[in-house]
């Protein structure tokens, strides 16, 4: 994950790590109980923005009461974090617990740096939402635990929609297209701002079509961009883009789509919840006109597939305090504290039953329905190289929007994608 979420909606790829401070005793094989780990210190690296002060205070008190050990959180910055984690996992005294971006988990697991948490899954993970839990599994083993997540929603301008005579938000994709068409006919606003390379939205559409961007060929992964289901997803994207004047060769950050929306001349855009804050910062007056709803799917009973960004919690394989680390995870991921984190940060928790903690947070309530039908980019260590600049999938998208067929556009970039998938990690 390359994005950082703020307050109401926090996203993708963060990391909490536990640097082994305090006693050096090996706790492996010990059963947890009051004071059973007394004298030890577990250090948690938490990414900036992941752990609200009240949550840290409450979890620390519960942990120290249960184990007799000390808990130390260390906040990490996003810049260079992947290399920092990789280095730490290779050292003889790695952090005990790490918050790792969900799509990055397979890469860390493939190095042998993460401990198998299959026993933890059996004990506390029976009702983890499958779509958010899948990123914590690699090669059939549970190498992390799902922690928190978020995804894209439709952020719309209520004033423009009312001017177009639209009284309710759409429940299906076709209803959404009809509303965009109405806005275009009855107002002078741009119906939706959708640049040609908003590729995480496209990834969500492929998930909605039941497609994957890679496939196994022999003992290696290759591009699946030429698949008919992927092509269908791109055609849906193209239909959305037909209601937009945004550049076909730029992504949502060039310019920042929220700042374009903030001018008050756009009906909607598809983005992260925190982007609403960006819009308000650019134009305070637009705050009263903001509304949110899930990206509609083909039918009213199932929202569109979305890319789920977020974080997992993992234990370092080289940690001498794995039993103590698991006690921390049992507390942090308990209904009480998982629910508290969801409420304080407005993020999607790891189980459906805890989504009641989002009540009253209009952004989070719009995000939540997508959790059960969402997914990620391919969960393989080789995938990271594909997203490196220049991202060939973005080139594919622009080519289709400029008139090439999905098949021809895929053929243009698949050699490059396969080359990147073949890189040694």
DSSP state of 267: S
pLDDT lower than 70: segments of the chain = 1-35, 78, 424-425
- Exposed e or buried b for every residue in 175-194, given b needs 16+ CB within 10 A? ebbebbebbbeebebbbbbb
Q: Which residues pair with 217 in a beta bridge?
A: 220
CA distances (Å), origin 409, targets 213, 226, 417, 420, 421? 14, 9, 13, 18, 18
- Rounded distance, CA 236 to CA 163, Å? 26
CA distances (Å), origin 202, targets 339, 349, 364? 30, 24, 21
Complete DSSP assignment for 217-243: ETTEEEE-TTSHHHHHHHHHHHHHHTT
CA distances (Å), origin 210, targets 106, 197, 217, 232, 291? 21, 21, 19, 11, 29
CA 320 to chain centre: 30
Token pair, residue 11, equals 């996203």
pTM: 0.88
- Rounded distance, CA 344 to CA 59, Å? 13
- Rounded distance, CA 240 to CA 398, Å? 14
Contact 334, 94 (CB under 8 A): no
CB within 8 A of 43, min separation 6: which ones? Answer: 17, 18, 19, 20, 21, 71, 72, 73, 74, 95, 96
- Rounded distance, CA 180 to CA 22, Å? 59
Residue 197, CB-side half-sphere exposure with 13 Å CA sphere: 20
Alpha helices in 118-255 (DSSP H): 118-124, 130-133, 158-163, 173-186, 199-208, 228-241
Strands 40-47, 97-101: pairing is: parallel
- Rounded distance, CA 206 to CA 199, Å? 10
Q: For 227-245, how does the pLDDT look when each residue is reduced to its tens digit (9 = 90+)?
A: 999 999 999 999 999 999 9
The whole-number pLDDT of residue 4 equals 35
Contact 412, 398 (CB under 8 A): no
The whole-number pLDDT of residue 45 equals 84
Q: For 7-38, how does the pLDDT look when each residue is reduced to its tens digit (9 = 90+)?
A: 333 333 332 332 223 334 445 434 555 567 99
- Rounded distance, CA 132 to CA 148, Å? 8
Contact 347, 341 (CB under 8 A): yes
CB within 8 A of 193, min separation 6: which ones? Answer: 244, 245, 246, 257, 260, 261, 266, 268, 269
- Rounded distance, CA 183 to CA 160, Å? 8
Closest CA to 331 of 59, 123, 117: 59
Cβ–Cβ contacts within 10 Å for residue 422, how many?
12
């Amino acid at each position: 994950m390359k994005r950082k979420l703020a307050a109401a909606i926090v996203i993708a790829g963060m990391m909490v790590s536990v640097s082994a401070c305090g006693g050096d005793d090996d706790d492996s094989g010990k059963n947890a109980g009051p004071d059973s780990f007394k004298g030890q210190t577990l250090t948690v690296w938490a990414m900036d923005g992941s752990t609200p002060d009240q949550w840290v205070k409450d979890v620390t008190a519960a942990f120290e009461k249960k184990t007799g050990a000390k808990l130390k959180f260390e906040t990490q910055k996003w810049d260079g974090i992947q290399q920092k984690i990789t280095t730490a996992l290779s050292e003889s005294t790695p952090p005990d617990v790490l918050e790792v971006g969900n799509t990055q988990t397979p890469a860390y697991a493939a190095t042998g740096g993460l401990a198998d948490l299959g026993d933890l899954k059996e004990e506390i993970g029976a009702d983890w939402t499958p779509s958010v839990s899948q990123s914590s599994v690699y090669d059939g083993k549970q190498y992390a635990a799902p922690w928190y997540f978020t995804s894209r929603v439709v952020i719309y301008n209520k004033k423009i929609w009312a001017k177009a005579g639209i009284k309710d938000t759409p429940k299906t994709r076709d209803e959404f297209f009809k509303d965009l068409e109405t806005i275009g006919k009855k107002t002078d606003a741009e119906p939706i701002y959708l640049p040609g390379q908003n590729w995480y939205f496209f990834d969500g559409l492929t998930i909605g079509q039941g497609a994957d961007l890679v496939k196994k060929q022999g003992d290696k992964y290759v591009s699946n961009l030429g698949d008919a289901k992927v092509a269908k997803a791109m055609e849906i994207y193209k239909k959305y883009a037909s209601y937009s004047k945004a550049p076909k060769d730029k992504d949502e950050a060039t310019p920042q789509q929220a700042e374009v929306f903030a001018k008050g001349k756009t009906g909607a855009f598809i983005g992260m919840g925190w982007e609403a804050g960006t819009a308000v910062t650019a134009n305070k007056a637009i705050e009263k006109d903001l509304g949110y709803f899930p990206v509609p799917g083909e039918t009213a009973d199932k929202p569109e597939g979305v890319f789920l960004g977020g974080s997992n919690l993992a234990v370092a394989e080289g940690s001498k305090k794995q039993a103590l680390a698991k006690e921390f995870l049992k507390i942090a991921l308990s209904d009480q504290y998982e629910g508290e984190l969801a409420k304080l940060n407005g993020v999607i928790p790891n189980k459906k039953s805890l989504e009641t903690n989002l009540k009253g947070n209009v952004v989070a309530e719009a995000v939540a329905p997508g959790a059960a039908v969402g997914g990620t980019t391919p969960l393989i260590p080789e995938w990271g190289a594909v997203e490196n600049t220049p991202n060939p999938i973005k080139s594919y998208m622009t080519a289709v929007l400029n008139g090439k067929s999905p098949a021809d556009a895929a053929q243009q970039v698949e050699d490059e994608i396969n080359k990147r998938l073949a890189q040694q990690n």
